[in-house]
Amino acid sequence: MNQDDPPTTITGLLTGEDPKPFKPRFVRALLRCAFLAAPMLTLLFAIGAYQLDQHYRVIKSFRVQTQFVEKGGESRGGVLIVGTFDKQRNCEFVSVTGRASDGDVAGVTFMDRRPNEPMFSRPLGPQKFGPWYVEGNEGEGITLHAVHRCHFLWPHYEEIGNFVIGQQ
């Protein structure tokens, strides 16, 4: 605004000059908080939903009941396992992987499926599984991990159980 321009407010007409715009600091802080509240609440809701999803198990009471150990000789051997588990949540099955006690990946092959048969999700409740072929040597500890899709946002990962090859 130029010095020669007439005042545009009532205060300016009475005093001869326009007052500077005044916004107290708390008003600016309040506006910033209001602007950031929606994204922050969305983020907190997503984090809470993720934590709840990851802590609410899909598979419970996983038990290996029978093992048929295959000696590997020079190469890595394996074991056929049969057992039971209890499915707690209605989620779509994606995969199962194994991890040996030394950190190596232990492949899991579902022997109860045909080679080109698509994966299927089991109904809720007690289930029998197997035979599954798990790579590993006798005496080696194996931990099985499952991936399920319970909704469209993220996959659900969980450790479903562990066993030692050759020990019932």
Q: Tell me the per-residue pLDDT of 113-144, one tens digit each, with 9 for 90 and over.
A: 776 776 777 888 999 988 988 988 888 899 99
At 144 the pLDDT is: 93
Identify the CATH class of 59-164: mainly beta
Task: Examine the pLDDT at 161 and tell me if it is beyond 80.
Answer: yes
Task: Quickly list DSSP for 58-71.
Answer: SEEEEEEEEEEEE-
- Vertex 156: Cα angle to 150 and 158 (nearest 5): 135
Residue 5 is predicted with a pLDDT of 66
Check pLDDT > 90 for residue 33.
no
| Euclidean distance between CA atoms 95 and 67, whole angstroms | 21
Residue ranges matching CATH 2.60.40 in the chain: 59-164
- Tell me the per-residue pLDDT of 66-89, one tens digit each, with 9 for 90 and over: 888 887 666 677 888 999 999 999
Instruction: Work out the burial of residue 38: count CB atoms within 10 Å of its CB; fewer than 13 is exposed, 13-18 middle, 19 or more buried.
Output: exposed
Could you report the per-residue pLDDT of 2-25, keeping only the tens digit for each? 666 666 666 666 776 766 666 677
pLDDT of residue 140: 86
Query: Does the pTM exceed 0.95?
Result: no
pLDDT for the residue 23: 66
